[in-house]
Amino acid sequence: MAKVDLHVHSRYSERPSMWFLNKIGAKESYTDPFTLYRLMKERGMDFVTITDHNRIDGAELLVERYPGDCFISVEATTYFPEDGCKAHLLVYGITREQFHKIQMLRENIYHLRDYLVEQNLPHSLAHATYAVNGRLTPDHLEKFLLLFNVFEGINGARLGYFNQQWMDILRRLTPEHLAQLEKKHGIHPVGKEPWIKGLTGGSDDHGGIFLGRTYTEAEAETPVEFLRAIQNRQTMPLGYQNDYKGLVYSIYKITYDHLEEMKIASQKSKNLFVSLSQQIFRPRRSTLKEKLFFFMRKKKRSDVLRDILERTLAGLREREQEDIRVKLDFLYDRITEMSDEFFSRLVKSFEKNIRQGDLMGIIKNLSSSLTGVFLAAPFLSSAKHLYSNRALLVELRKRMNLPLPDKPKKILWFTDTINDLNGVSATLKELGWISYKEQMPLKFVTSLLDHEIDEGIPPNTIYLDFFHAFALPFYDHYTLKLPSLLRALERLTAENPDEIYISTPGPLGLLGILVAKLMNLPIASIYHTDFVREAEKIVEDEGILSLLKQYELWFYSMADEVRFQSQEYFHILKERGIPESKLRFLPKGINTSVFRYLPEVRDVFHHSFGIPEGVNLLYAGRISKDKNVDVLLEIYKKLSEKYENINLIFVGDGPYLKDLKHKAKSYERVFFLGKIRRDALPHVYSASDVFVFPSTTDTFGMVVLEAQACGVPALVTDEGGPKQIILPEETGFVLPVSEVEKWVEKIEYLMRKRKTLEWRYLRQKASQHVQKNYRWEVVLGSIFETV
């Protein structure tokens, strides 16, 4: 089998498409044709060609020197005359006369195709799904299918996702597809069985880094036989496929070559970029003087950034003889380390400046952070560039009724909370375990401190490294983590998700938005928590509240869907500016084999916590002022004046716990149990008589659902999501939070019903209602669109 890299550039490709290279006045490639030939041969290529943009000078040089195993080719830029959409067409085995004719005809893709067919010239349409000048549409892709019979299946400079998706579409074509497209566009396909497409592969290398790592394989002994195999659609594309890092390094290499040609890289005062580039792209043995210099610098180093820079240069020197990918991976790690250090310094300085009220310090730190942005920006922009045309392939499949590859969509679910004492964490962990056991392609993405990770977190969780962590104002029990941007990008793009879900509007939520925008993926944001309402009860500064409202609106406007969990929030979110077209209901689920009534646990519960027998009023959840927990003390005060056997039990932790304990210190039968393991919660619920939940800020109220599943009647407010869970007058009551007397009245009513048949019916009704209406299979069906 013969191998040829059928898409490669030399220094005769002069006009770069990248804006940055245009800006600095660089050419598209600086690779010498004879260096190219040598490297191709070293990497196992049997024959060699060059496909420069609209030039054949480099290919002619090779044919002149190596006539036995080289042939002339070109990458012709051609256009759809109706709208100016560009395409790149690889044409092989041409003469100078044919090249001049191609140059004359390439302004019109239809005329060029007809000429190539007339001359029987092998040709392959390069990177068909890449919008060369931003005008590519599904219509153009359909026309490509009619015009050409051979396509570049693997382009080494493009992502594997796009290569594989495009080849899958080509392999699924039928005579019916081509007939329908011919009728639609009026273009007659040529050749025998035009629905069977040939495939080629090439590195599309511009910097001399990836030459021969992507190639085409065919049964051939000579270049002529190889060209015939292309014509006959008897070739196989193989080899390396790019990622966003590879594109950045190619640009780095071309930039370095440009500086070297301009004699900038040879000046005595070399900058860091030149020094690093020389170690990557022009490896040589370090001199004794250079080794001694780095050794002495190591002895003196004290600054973290200087340490990273010196380790980077030293590490590249140690890897002088290793494969380019090894060096590039090492460099990415060091760039990530430097970027994280810059951002960490910025955040720490911000914290200090805010505490001191130093506005000028904040401005100064913003400007100094530009270095960290500069380090990360090329990788972010290259990822955005490579993933830009995802929607084209999806739309083409829909038009042609071609099924997606046989796999369910893969979801990455971002959350700042997964192992905390709140309903969001409880829901996500439950969902995670079920999806893991059912082998559903769902993974959670979060950042946690070492002590926050335990066996309760589902295995399908990705833990991201973070460069800084800090406690939230007003919620010092909770620590936010700022994830390492470049490390996260590397980890998450490797997952190749189809959709992004976001549970929290914190740093992980922002990262989810960024990843989705870079990878051109749909976003579904879950409105779990009403931070605006919570803040209104805690923060007195109207300016801060206004900023929070603006941020919330911006955050959720970034999503393609905003999933709400109660009908009340459908109306609230509409009023806050979220378009109705984006709003979609997300059902809730609960494991009723775990959360169920356990009649035998009451005595054990009382004994374990030292709680005297009596009527148990239970509150579970975060202990914070916005949850209106002070109202419970008012209710309890009135009840305790009339009854001696009432216990008020708090389960949970939070920023208001210390204050609440102080306020309740005069009551002997008010108990604070702290955090309770999730698997022990059904025991606590089952030992309780009434669940009291005065919060007005919950969008759903998972603890209310858990209590009802365990057969506990619940009292909730007439604001927020919890009122949707209960059946009023049947499994509990919905009451205004301000009318304490009504809460007292309903608790007394339930106290009178204890140990009656009506009480037993009420508990059964609550459990049965939850079992019927909150099933996990419905939740999963809504997420994966199977119901």
429 and 508 Cβ atoms separated by less than 8 Å: no
Q: Which of 188-192, 391-395, 513-517 has the lowest mean pLDDT?
A: 391-395
Retrieve residue 118's tokens.
């007339």
Q: What is the pLDDT of residue 265?
A: 46
Please give the helix or strand (H or E) that residue 375 lies within, else none: helix 370-386
Residues 6+ apart with CB under 8 A from 121: 91, 92, 93, 94, 98
Q: Indicate the SS3 state at residue 364.
A: helix
Which tops the pLDDT comparison, 534 or 87? 87
Residue with token string 């196992």: 44
- Name the token pair of 464: 């991201």
Comparing 395 with 345, the larger pLDDT belongs to 395
pLDDT for the residue 724: 94
Q: In what order do the strands lie in the sheet with 86-92?
A: 73-79, 86-92, 123-125, 150-155, 198-202
β 442-446/461-463 pair status: parallel
Strands 466-472 and 690-693, bridge-based pairing: unpaired
Give the residue-averaged pLDDT of 449-460.
Answer: 92
Answer yes or no: is pLDDT of 103 > 70. Answer: yes
The model's confidence at residue 268, banded by pLDDT at 50, 70 and 90, is: very low
Q: How many C-beta atoms surround the C-beta of residue 544 within 10 A? A: 12
Nearest C-alpha neighbor of 422 from the set 529, 337, 341: 529
Hey, what are 285's tokens?
């043995």
pLDDT confidence of 263, banded at 50, 70, 90? low
Reading the block at residue 746, the tokens are 């309903």
Q: Mind spelling out the 3-state secondary structure of 648-706?
A: EEEECCCCCHHHHHHHCCCCCCEEEEECCCHHHHHHHHHCCCEEEECCCCECCCHHHHH
User: Distances in Å between the alpha carbon of 250 and those of 87, 134, 289, 373?
Assistant: 22, 22, 31, 20
Average pLDDT over every residue of 281-288: 54
> 122: pLDDT confidence band, cut at 50, 70 and 90?
very high
Place of tokens 């099924």: 403
Higher-confidence residue: 55 or 337? 55
What does residue 4 show for φ and ψ, rounded to 5 degrees?
-145, 135
Q: Give φ, ψ of 704 to 5 degrees.
A: -65, -45
Geometric angle at alpha carbon 160, from 155 and 161, rounded to 5°: 125
> Which position has the higher pLDDT, 471 or 642?
642
**Out of 40-49, 211-220, 416-425, 552-561, which region has the weakest mean confidence (pLDDT)?**
416-425
Residues 6+ apart with CB under 8 A from 26: 16, 254, 255, 257, 258
Asked whether the CA dihedral 61, 62, 63, 64 is positive or negative, the reply is positive
User: What is the pLDDT averaged over residues 409-433?
Assistant: 90
Distance between CA 270 and CA 261 in Å, rounded? Answer: 14
CA 769 to CA 448: how far, in whole Å?
A: 36
Q: CB of 229 within 8 A of CB of 235?
A: yes
Contacts of 739 (CB under 8 A, 6+ apart): none
What pLDDT is recorded for position 787? 40
Residue 612 has what DSSP assignment? P
Distances (CA, A) of 258 to 31, 245, 607, 773: 11, 20, 79, 66
Burial class of residue 118, CB neighbours in 10 A (0-12, 13-18, 19+): exposed
313: which 2 tokens?
């240069």
CA-based nearest residue to 620, from 659, 664, 650:
650
3-class secondary-structure state, position 470: strand
- Domain spans of the chain, in order of start: 2-242, 247-383, 409-585, 599-779
Nearest to 694 by CA among 628, 626, 616: 628
The tens digit of pLDDT for each residue in 203-262 reads 999 999 999 999 999 999 999 999 999 999 999 999 999 888 888 888 877 777 777 777
Residue 303 DSSP SS3: coil
β-partners of residue 199 are 151
Closest to 241 measured CA to CA, from 170, 169, 165, 316: 165
Instruction: Assign 759 to helix, strand or coil.
Output: helix
User: Which residue, among 74, 72, 33, has the nearest Cα to 51 in the 3D structure?
Assistant: 74
Averaged confidence pLDDT in the chain: 89
Tell me if 409-585 shares its fold with 599-779: yes
Listed range (15-29, 47-61, 111-125, 211-225) with the worst mean pLDDT: 15-29
In this prediction, residue 420 carries a pLDDT of: 80
Q: List all residues 6 or more positions away from 602 whose beta carbon is below 8 Å from its beta carbon.
A: 686, 687
Instruction: Examine the pLDDT at 477 and tell me if it is beyond 90.
Output: no
Q: Tell me the pLDDT band of 169, cut-offs 50, 70 and 90.
A: very high
| Mean pLDDT score, 103-125 | 98
Give residue 310's pLDDT. Answer: 76
Confidence of residue 643 (pLDDT cuts 50, 70, 90): very high
Going by pLDDT thresholds of 50, 70 and 90, the confidence category of residue 121 is: very high
Q: Give dist(CA 535, CA 519) in Å, integer.
A: 33
Residue 509 has pLDDT above 80, yes or no: yes
For 409-585, give the CATH class: alpha beta
Q: Is the pLDDT of residue 279 over 80?
A: no
What are the structure tokens assigned to 208, written together? 């001399």
pLDDT at position 426 = 87
Q: Which DSSP string do the residues of 107-148 spell out, in sequence order?
A: TSHHHHHHHHHHHT--EEE-STTS-SSS---HHHHHHHHHH-
- 502 beta partners: 414, 525
- What number of CA atoms fall less than 13 Å from residue 332's CA on the CB side? 24
Residue 744: band (very low, low, confident or very high) from pLDDT cuts 50, 70, 90 = very high
What is the spatial distance between Cα 328 and Cα 246, in angstroms, rounded to a whole number? 8
Count of Cβ atoms closer than 10 Å to residue 84 Cβ: 10
- Per-residue pLDDT at 554 exceeds 80: yes
Q: Which residue has the higher pLDDT, 83 or 320?
A: 83
The CATH number of domain 2-242, selected from 3.60.20.30, 3.20.20.140, 3.40.50.10860, 3.20.20.120:
3.20.20.140
CATH of region 599-779: 3.40.50.2000
Res. 562 pLDDT band, cuts 50 70 90: very high
Looking at residue 479, its pLDDT comes to 83
The dihedral built from the CA positions of residue 375, 377, 381 and 383, taken in this order, carries a sign that is positive
Per-residue model confidence (pLDDT) at position 301 = 45
pLDDT-based confidence at 281, cuts 50/70/90? Answer: low
Tens of pLDDT along 323-378? 777 878 888 998 898 888 888 877 877 666 656 655 566 566 656 556 667 778 88
